Structure 1
């Protein structure tokens, strides 16, 4: 599905959030590998579960056509610096919910990009009949956890010793969910 693009400004940084387009595919492929190398908050090491240009084109096409999916990108000065996805299911028992995920280049943290990607995704979900948005977040990503709580997400479960990080220690993954307010 697509949304109407929105413009934002925070801390003198202007950026736009819009729906992903197929011609973004190569940049998204390269960006994902770069972001994976900047933080251990995500599931992958750089290059793991690699999605090439063709793979991103397929994802964008699918997400644009399906009512239960949304793929957003963030542009700063015509350069994509982050993205988010909501992925739903066409199975009747799961059709009421989507899973949210997000990636933003580290140099653009602190500009409200994650907050605005989440806000736009939740507005879309609420307007399309989605009743629940879920996500997973590493226990050490306190900033993200606090943001999610501000948007009504609650911790629904903990996957203990779920991720092995570079320090050789295991960390928990929190499963969080937000129910549609008018259920």
Structure 2
């Protein structure tokens, strides 16, 4: 379990990364909804797969009690700016890996929040013996792809015509993995 909060200062923006707490549920519901409406890089459109406060409370509690799950938030002055989750499995053949997902409010892009959420997740994964982190990213999201490659991820496959975006066209998704040392 990730225990320590970490503080960061990037481009004059000070923020903390810490484990999600049940008290974050209302803000997380709003932030996730906003993020989904700000970019097509997410799996959902705004309002799809909506998670209300009770749903986030349950998710936070479940993650806190699952040895291979990690739910982090980035916050500044009590405001949640972004979040990430690592989700593991109970299946024996998959105990060695977790799946990573991240979302950051658009107004805070460029402050290293996604990078630092991922770095903290990698450190946590290594500390508990996880051997692989997997993530999915749209091929067009080259800034994210470049970041993931810089942090040791490799493209392991392509899901062709995986997402139908607002341009009316299908787009490919990269499956990326990081075999942790």
TM-score interval w.r.t. the shorter chain? over 0.9
Gaps of 5+ in 2: none
> Contact 1:2 / 1:64 at 8 angstroms: preserved in 2?
no
The aligned counterpart of 2:66 is: 66
Structural mapping, 1:105-116, within 5 Å: 105-116=105-116
RMSD: 0.7
Structural mapping, 1:103-142, within 5 Å: 103-142=103-142
Alpha-carbon distance between aligned partners in 2 of 1:15 and 1:27, rounded to the nearest angstrom: 16
Gaps of 5+ in 1: none
> Contact 1:7 / 1:17 at 8 angstroms: preserved in 2?
yes
- The TM-score with structure 2 as length reference comes to 0.98
Aligned structure 1 segments of 4 or more residues deviating by more than 3 angstroms: none
Alpha-carbon distance between aligned partners in 2 of 1:114 and 1:8, rounded to the nearest angstrom: 12
The aligned counterpart of 1:166 is: 166
Alpha-carbon distance between aligned partners in 1 of 2:10 and 2:99, rounded to the nearest angstrom: 27
The aligned counterpart of 1:148 is: 148
The aligned counterpart of 1:54 is: 54
TM-superposed CA distance for 1:91, in Å, is 1.0
Alpha-carbon distance between aligned partners in 2 of 1:97 and 1:57, rounded to the nearest angstrom: 25
Aligned length: 181
- The TM-score with structure 1 as length reference comes to 0.97
Alpha-carbon distance between aligned partners in 2 of 1:6 and 1:141, rounded to the nearest angstrom: 27
